[in-house]
Structure 1
């Protein structure tokens, strides 16, 4: 195989592996796990009250909780939020939207907990003991401390607690009613936490930490590769993956990295928003004023039913710096807390989310193309109401748009194939003179009007679009439990049966067959049989890589390969027509293989 096609193969392999395993996530270097020190509380002794330690002798020891646990529920058309008096925070958020739900199941929801339970909502933070937006690392005001419910309406709830008779804390939460409007989002909860100094001394600046909640696995088969902690700095968004804390890995066996999980990663940065998420759902905190850092924790959860191994979640906390509080004065932490699906159309609404919050979709370095294609996919879906059909039609549209580039690459490959015998002769003739070989090869290219990059460059143009489409299909919450043909869930493998415990997934098998057929139909500008066999074997390697990925990805790849087969059939027919035309032109007047002789028989 010539250098050009080797380059194409290497680029495609590198792009595919990088896309599937790294997703272009910008994970910061993992610092050594710091010693966890409890956040200081206010020391009320002295002319100014300097936060030193909650255990300082000047503090009254926090009273042991005596209040019974109680909860309050606020809801709108899309979420049902349960608040707890312990921590005065959000215990859980249930997604109760009925939009786009199954018409054949009464009471079904848009985002159910499982395909078998379409009327039971998916719940964020359900399996965690840490309420979302609870004040962390502050005994007496944290999740183990009871707050008093002081006000409640259809859209608002307010809690109050007093720390050591010196610091009053008011916690207020407000929901957007209904489906919201262009300048609000019904999945977003407004929060306000007010700290009031009840003493006659100034309380000096002190840190405050808010819990975002815990991202949990979707089910027992979820490996956690999509669990990430995102944060936005200036114009950049970075992600800490769960694998950063899991430990282990191949390199750990040769002494690179730790085999043991890390309990904590601490990041110091001015953050304008922080998120914690799994593949389809996200808890997203957008404070009115930037935070000073974040904590990322690996959390063990209860095992899934039928299993004994603890599930692993990813918890995130946002750190803020409270200013000095004058006697009788206040300090405030406020902002928006989004708890819901990872929907690009919703999160890209600049009237509500003004700081690139749609980056939580994690589209990677080709995000521009992912967003463009997702917009197109949504538009097509609005007309056909089936995500599988939308994927097929979007793939077809891409093939049509890039047909000129494919034709250019195919013509270049055919020209290269025609001069292969001459190139082989040149290699043999000048095998001891590389410089002469290069000069003669370029002269051969010029003579036959062959551009050595002619087959590579047109295909490189299409790569960002297809990788962008690939990335977009991985994290679209709308695909969850969306059916197509025999597949019941486009976000999961399309397993139809098991043989000796092994799943039979049709789409990846179909993808491998179609890609292999396409490879056999495509002209190979080489006489190296070993390399041809290797390239023909690659489709089946990719089928194995895709085997346990979501059905949507395998569907896209299978359909793309199927359209490519049809496209190659058309190209091959065009080539045959061109070859016939060339033969006719070179054999004028010939009765055999040339243009037909004009009929000069007199008319009767």
Structure 2
């Protein structure tokens, strides 16, 4: 492919990433005021007979714009449900899930402690919100507890009996997902009067996963059966492109409520998510910001999100019973796992959320790449090698198109003297110039757009790979060569406070060498300067992306370099000569006077 087509491709990528950067950049953050952290679990007690509900006051919010972070009640009874993948800590305050530990995912690189979702929170997961006397401060009684099931019960104001049941799949249950919990809540009216019910259920609190996490995937989302709706942290902070350039000052919002059909709702960050899929679709979601303690090793503001789903619960009839049930997934954002669910829960991955994702078909490309990468990993057992093999396979598949484009570029390069002669002869007649140029292309069987096809293939693959990597939990803390985490930059040290990332530098070097090998038509000095600067610009843009993306691009570039060397060595097309139509030079190399068909 010639350098003009390469330039078009790179400029499209730059425009796409610039669009992504500006549309997802959060606004300025409020300085945290210091909040309490969830307390340690207490020792479980034996099941008790249901008694009227008791309540304790919740921790007040420090700022009306933020939901309050609450500490587990010191008197709480914590009951545990666990399998080989998760450990749920359920609290009798709210009869809900305090937090969930992921046994397969460490909290930090080299740590044996698991990552804990909802560890610091505004409310336990599936606790009721906004219904005083029957919320997270209400104490339930533990009715029963087995290795796979926990049941809570309370009586609200001597009027409503509330029973909450949690079922976790056993370790040997191959028919169920180990991260998915079945939940049922039943309301029974003990009086002869109708009664309103709590209909807002908490989904948990999501936080940044590391200091490298920019919060681009920290959001609350819902799915209406057609498309997902996403509320970012920046929408609450008053962020956005206009704010970033100073053209607008959107004030922070204390809460965002959105009405509409909800087949499932989620609170998530870059790698983990809490997804609740009710049997009967909900009617909306509620989102608030949460001030959290700074991440380990940092002192800057750490703002999380808490979300809730609004359920479609009718008024409880006199002496009647009603209930709601659903499946709660709390676990890693693994596409191959989520794709097995029946309500398109895999859209949590956000592969096609942004405009630049959609124009490059990332909604189709990224899932295919994820499936291919996981398939390669199942054979080799190393994610870095899996990425290399996947890259090579994609290059082999696209090889016929790339070789055809390379040969076309070589022919175009050798046709430059003929084309220059046409331009000189018809510089005052653009119509005849175009006609003669097209005759040249036709005569020498050169497609002027032939070099574009590899670019049209490469860009969707690159953007799809970028989209896929952003939320692929499988790559978190997976090492390769000197990189200890393929989902983060491969920083090996710092110079004057600036990180030294090797893989993006190698990527830029391969791009630079590749461009020097690529045949190029005659170009002016301004275009030449653009060509020289592009590898450096692209390296700067990708410098702090995950090193898995740079690994993919580097291997792709090395393969392309080898391919171009072969093409340059073995493609020995003769200097183009006219095949019946004078085009500037003949087989003898002497100039041809006429470059257009002679009139009869």
Tell me, yes or no, whether TM beats 0.5. Answer: yes
The separation in 2 between residues aligned to 1:217 and 1:559, in whole angstroms, is: 31
Which of 189, 193, 197 is the equivalent residue of 2:189? 197
Q: How does 1:68-467 map to 2 (within 5 A)?
A: 68-96=75-103, 110-117=104-111, 119-181=112-174, 183-203=175-195, 208-252=199-243, 256-349=247-340, 353-364=341-352, 365=358, 366-467=362-463
Higher relative contact order structure (alpha carbons within 8 Å, sequence separation ≥ 6): 2
SS in 1 for 2:144: strand
Question: 1:294·1:318 contact (CA, 8 Å) conserved in 2?
Answer: yes
- Is the partner of 1:391 in helix, strand or coil? helix
Q: Deviations over 1:488-543 (max 9, x none)?
A: 11111111111111111100001000111001100112332321231232111111
Describe the shift of the 1:257–1:328 C-alpha distance in structure 2 as closer, same or farther (beyond 3 A): farther
Secondary structure at 1:536 match in 2: helix
Residues 536, 285 of structure 1: CA spacing in aligned structure 2 closer, same or farther, 3 A cutoff? same
Which one of the candidate residues 503, 506, 523 is aligned to 1:507? 503
Return the offset for 1:8: 5.7
- Structure 1 gap ranges (5+): 28-59, 97-109, 589-604
Q: Deviations over 1:148-176 (max 9, x none)?
A: 22221111111122222222221111110
CA contact (8 A) 1:172 1:193 kept: yes
Once the 2 structures are TM-superposed, how far is the Cα of residue 203 of structure 1 from its aligned partner? Answer: 3.2
TM-score normalised by structure 2 residue count? 0.82
Aligned residues of 2:415 and 2:575 also touching (Cα < 8 A) = no
Alpha-carbon distance in structure 1 between the residues aligned to 2:457 and 2:244 = 40
Task: Quote the RMSD (CA, aligned, Å).
Answer: 3.0
Residues in 1 aligned to 2:501 and 2:574: alpha-carbon distance in whole angstroms: 42
TM-score (norm 1): 0.82
Paired residue for 1:101? none
Offset at residue 470 of structure 1 (A): 2.7
Superimposed CA distance per residue, residues 247-297 of structure 1 (whole angstroms, 9 cap, x where no aligned partner) = 245522666543543332221110111112111111111111100011122
* Alpha-carbon separation, structure 1, partners of 2:461 and 2:224: 27
Query: In structure 2, do the counterparts of structure 1 residues 64 and 462 end up closer, same or farther at CA, with 3 Å as the change threshold?
Result: closer
- Which whole-Å deviations, capped at 9, do the CAs of 1:420-470 have from their partners, x for residues lacking one? 233334444444444343333323322332222221134313432332223
Q: 2:519 aligns with which of 510, 523, 527?
A: 523
- Give the deviation of 1:129 after TM superposition: 3.4
Structure 2: tracts of 5 or more residues without a match? 26-51, 58-72, 353-357, 578-584, 588-600
Q: Which residue of 2 aligns with 1:57?
A: none
Q: What is the distance in 2 between the residues matched to 1:328 and 1:165?
A: 13
How many residues end up aligned between the 2 structures? 532
Is the contact between residue 55 and residue 137 of structure 2 (CA under 8 Å) also seen in structure 1?
A: no
1: CA distance between counterparts of 2:259 and 2:247?
25
Q: Which moved more, 1:316-325 or 1:508-517?
A: 316-325
SS of the residue 1:122 aligns to: strand
Work out the CA distance in 2 between the residues paired with 1:521 and 1:143: 65
| Residues 474 and 18 of structure 1: CA distance in aligned 2, closer, same or farther (over 3 Å) | same
Deviation at 1:17, TM superposition (A): 4.3
Q: Which residue of structure 2 lines up, in the alignment, with residue 552 of structure 1? A: 548
Q: Secondary structure at the match of 2:520?
A: coil
| C-alpha distance in 2 between matches for 1:361 and 1:250 | 23
Secondary structure at 1:569's aligned position in 2? helix
For residues 562-577 of structure 1, what are the structure 2 equivalents within 5 Å?
Answer: 562-576=558-572
Write the deviation string for residues 538-596 of structure 1: whole angstroms up to 9, x where unpaired: 111111111111111111111111111111111111224x44999xxx999xxxxxxxx
Could you tell me whether the CA contact under 8 Å between 1:5 and 1:456 is conserved in 2? no
Moved more, 215-224 or 439-448: 439-448
Structure 1 residues 61 and 341: CA distance shift in structure 2, 3 A: closer
Structure 2 SS opposite 1:382: helix
1:93 to 1:193, Cα distance in 2 relative to 1, 3 A = same
Deviates more, 1:256-265 or 1:69-78: 256-265
